[in-house]
Structure 1
Amino acid sequence: MPAQHGPDRPDGPLPSEWLILADDLTGAADCAIAFARRGLGAAVGWHAAPAGDGAMAAFPVLAIDADSRRLLPEAAAARHAALLRRHLSGRAHPALIKKIDSTLRGQPAAELAATLAALREMGRGRLALLAPAFPATGRTTEGGHVHLEGVRLDSTALWARDHSYDSADLLVVLASAGLKARLLPLERVRKQPSALAAALHAAHAERLDALVCDAVEVADLDNLARASLPLAENVLWVGSGGIAAALAAALPAATGVPPPALPRRPGGVLVVVGSVAEASRAAAAALAGTGVPRFAIPAELLRAGEGDPRWRPLGREIAAAIAAGRDTLVEIAADPAAELRQGAALAEALALLLAPAASRMGGLFATGGETACALLSRLGVHGIHLLEEVEPGVPLGLTLGALQVPVMTKAGAFGRNTTILRSLARLHHLLGAPS
């Protein structure tokens, strides 16, 4: 039986099933792993997985990667609406989370508008609680504006490099998709949960599309989670790993089935770094410093494909290192000429190159969700059963599908120099092998 609610737990019935729609794989896993930490069975899958998969449907927490960050608004919206309809079938009253990037990359407004419209068409209309803050990573929301380390997001170098909107004013962003929204300022977010819940009820009765929720501390998200959890059938949480962690923490811990043992396979761990972010490159350099085999794959080779004479010899060399039981680092070499929109094509080409090696690997560590999804899909994998978080933002799971292998994923733009090293050490420990 679930534990009884303590004084910090919300009153009223709590959801037992969760559906999370995300715009990328690492974000989907970041949200779902928060629930796995509470003892709930959690899995992440992707939009191209076969329909009607009973194994995926059996998990009380299911996160789906829509892989929509690089799509145009109309395509991203259509994909989210289709995934929602598909995965709500068979789930009577799941709590819903729409995961977005905490720095507003991609098409969060168009995706949210399509999700809300699809819910209304299905007779499940909900109020969106937009809370993208992730204080643990320096992302906050103040006065309805996203801030990064205290600076308005639209004034940062990150925004200048990659953004979809003219400003980081969330009310303006929502209005651009035709959504009627109002700000829930910090002083109201910090009210007693009962008073905050009354404000949420009023906004729902007013038929607003969304409330933009300020949050500058973890406690602000915790308060929002406790107030809104009993209203799960009437709200849609929209945010990043911060709100997911707050919602999971407000649930009673579950005592479920013990997680499965990780299978031991003879190959080494394949470490794939598809991100050009500095944090990922620094972690890869630290791993390379230990003497592991290192392969830097030029982007122009991936664009050329199998016709390039270097392709097959390089693939065989990587496969040989993995088959010999050696952890092996593969990177897409930094290419200043490569544009962001080329990422999907490069990930698919890299997956094709690495498929022979990956079929022999004892485990996978992938930085960049697009890369991991492309590679695993090519191997007949359609999802990941999440088991634990080896480091903040680095979930460990077991693949579901034709190949069973432990896998760890990490978003490209965060982490420490030691993240890959420490994650590999944890995996080797769990496998009972020397690191």
Structure 2
Amino acid sequence: MTRNWLILADDLTGAADCGIAFARRGLEASVGWHGAEAASATEVLAIDADSRRLSPEGAGARHAALLRARHAPGMGLIKKIDSTLRGQPAAELAATLGALRESGRPALAILAPAFPATGRTTEGGRVHMNGAPLETTPLWARDHTYESALLTEVLASVGLSARLIPLELVRGGEIPLAHALRSALDEGLDAVVCDAAAPGDLEALARASLPLSESVLWVGSGGIAAALAAALPESGAVAAPAPTALRGGVLIVVGSIAEASRAAAAHLAAEDAAELIEVPVDLLRAGPADPRWAPLANRIAGSLASGRDTLVPVTDASVADLSGGAALAVALAELLAPAGARMGGLFATGGETACALLSHLGVHGIRLLEEVEPGVPLGITQGAIEVPVMTKAGAFGNEETILRSLERLHHLTQDLTGESAR
């Protein structure tokens, strides 16, 4: 079975979610991103295409270009999509399949976006979130691309043919499931949509499909990546750079408006576990000319320099406010640049936010170390600075997630250095 994998993702947190699954199995895994110097060569490379806010045509073209540049024969391939279908997953998949077939390789997409550990399941070919159809959730109301979350219809919208593999077939045994996958490949279908409501469903799918790795690609989120990694032979532990004592406080940036991230930030502030310094969204729109800019940037940097973990949420944000999310992420990165030089570590919610800040600081990749909890990987930055970094998708986790993640980081550095915790 292959030890070398390429993961193409539409954002940074998703790339890290998938890559960390392989790091847990002893494979060297790193994350890089579009537009930056290539991350260090490792057995598993996850690349953030930074395509979620692009047009369907732009997102597809970027994925096809990355595939042509980084994929080689014998490599396993995962196309990471958002588990709630944000962005342009169908257009990206169509372009990725097209690029694979240019080389004469048969390619069947195994579409399994479920991530049961974070409440995402696929039932009857439709995405559900915490048991409810995705279309009924606040997240869908705030941000969606397609008319429905019925995956066969989503694929049909870009001209891809697909068949549903229902839950009873997924759970019906490895031999019938493998036969269904081979039949779809032989018929020339573009994709199969796979139901999954529990981690064991994804594990069964991984075992049945891995023998077809030369002819398929897997499309999904951290759930299918974890299942594929678990189905591989376990490797010995790989020596990896480890966090040293934190030289400054941890910078906690909450750039997401998702309810889970806002609740976690509020809980952290209520526990007085970090200095709270809010960044109004109108300040980011105004830019450095605003008289509030420099004092706020200096205040955040000073808090970190004093060794205090510092929570920086973007406030007064609404769907309309964040419609220009890429520009706001860049502005936030510029505001936090002085803080970045003083931070001992980074926790960031929202891939666009994390990528903009790290790129601004001269970081071109992350070497992955461990998973603090589902959807929260820990790694070490690669580039101009080397500090621990944790990323989290905006809608993952609960109100304790950030607090638990910070505790894990401090305990880890304490264990490695023998120094007392703060």
* TM-score in same-fold range (> 0.5): yes
Of stretches 207-216 and 424-433 in structure 1, the one that deviates more from structure 2 is 424-433
Aligned to 2:66: 83
Do the aligned residues in 2 keep the contact of 1:299 with 1:338 (CA within 8 Å)?
no
Aligned to 2:17: 30
Secondary structure in 2 aligned to 1:383? strand
Unaligned runs of 5+ in 2: 415-419
1:56 maps to a residue whose letter is S
The separation in 2 between residues aligned to 1:183 and 1:85, in whole angstroms, is 29
Aligned to 2:266: 285
Q: Post-superposition shift, 1:397? A: 0.2
The separation in 2 between residues aligned to 1:156 and 1:269, in whole angstroms, is 33
**Mapping of residues 58-207 of structure 1, within 5 Å:** 59-88=42-71, 91-207=72-188
Aligned to 1:11: none
Structure 1 position 412 matched with structure 2 position 394: yes
Q: Post-superposition shift, 1:81? A: 0.7
Tell me the TM-score normalised to structure 1 length: 0.92
Aligned to 2:417: none
Aligned to 2:298: 316
Deviations 1:204-247 (A, max 9, x none): 11111101111222221111100001111111100111111111
The separation in 2 between residues aligned to 1:217 and 1:48, in whole angstroms, is 36
Do the aligned residues in 1 keep the contact of 2:379 with 2:390 (CA within 8 Å)?
yes
Flag the 1:260–1:336 CA change in 2: closer, same or farther, 3 A. closer
1:140 maps to a residue whose letter is T
Flag the 1:156–1:293 CA change in 2: closer, same or farther, 3 A. closer
Q: Post-superposition shift, 1:200? A: 1.4
Flag the 1:182–1:383 CA change in 2: closer, same or farther, 3 A. same
Structure 1 position 327 matched with structure 2 position 309: yes
Aligned to 2:40: 56
The separation in 2 between residues aligned to 1:422 and 1:160, in whole angstroms, is 29
The separation in 1 between residues aligned to 2:321 and 2:280, in whole angstroms, is 14
The separation in 1 between residues aligned to 2:121 and 2:334, in whole angstroms, is 39
Aligned to 1:385: 367
Deviations 1:155-196 (A, max 9, x none): 333322211111111111101111111111222222322222
The separation in 2 between residues aligned to 1:107 and 1:302, in whole angstroms, is 26
The separation in 2 between residues aligned to 1:176 and 1:339, in whole angstroms, is 29
Secondary structure in 2 aligned to 1:93? coil
The separation in 2 between residues aligned to 1:350 and 1:384, in whole angstroms, is 20
Deviations 1:119-143 (A, max 9, x none): 1112333100011112222222222
Q: Percent identity?
A: 69
Do the aligned residues in 2 keep the contact of 1:180 with 1:209 (CA within 8 Å)?
yes
Secondary structure in 1 aligned to 2:60? helix
Secondary structure in 1 aligned to 2:32? strand
Q: Post-superposition shift, 1:265? A: 4.6
Deviations 1:267-291 (A, max 9, x none): 1111111111222122112222343
Flag the 1:434–1:314 CA change in 2: closer, same or farther, 3 A. same
Aligned to 2:200: 219
Structure 1 position 264 matched with structure 2 position 245: yes
The separation in 2 between residues aligned to 1:245 and 1:87, in whole angstroms, is 22
The separation in 1 between residues aligned to 2:319 and 2:140, in whole angstroms, is 19
Q: Post-superposition shift, 1:293? A: 2.0
Secondary structure in 2 aligned to 1:174? helix
Aligned to 1:47: 34
Structure 1 position 251 matched with structure 2 position 235: no
The separation in 2 between residues aligned to 1:152 and 1:320, in whole angstroms, is 45
Deviations 1:250-273 (A, max 9, x none): 112110422222133521111111
Flag the 1:17–1:174 CA change in 2: closer, same or farther, 3 A. same
Aligned to 1:371: 353
The separation in 1 between residues aligned to 2:124 and 2:308, in whole angstroms, is 51
Aligned to 1:306: 288
The separation in 2 between residues aligned to 1:286 and 1:139, in whole angstroms, is 24
1:379 maps to a residue whose letter is L
2:290 maps to a residue whose letter is D
The separation in 2 between residues aligned to 1:192 and 1:337, in whole angstroms, is 44
Deviations 1:20-79 (A, max 9, x none): 1111111111111111111111111111112xx4x522x111111111111111111111
CA RMSD of aligned residues (A): 1.5
2:234 maps to a residue whose letter is A
Do the aligned residues in 1 keep the contact of 2:281 with 2:321 (CA within 8 Å)?
no
2:357 maps to a residue whose letter is L
The separation in 2 between residues aligned to 1:179 and 1:305, in whole angstroms, is 43
The separation in 2 between residues aligned to 1:154 and 1:322, in whole angstroms, is 41
Q: Post-superposition shift, 1:333? A: 0.6
Tell me the TM-score normalised to structure 2 length: 0.95
Match of 1:295 among 245, 255, 277: 277
Unaligned runs of 5+ in 1: 1-13
Do the aligned residues in 2 keep the contact of 1:70 with 1:341 (CA within 8 Å)?
no
Structure 1 position 362 matched with structure 2 position 344: yes
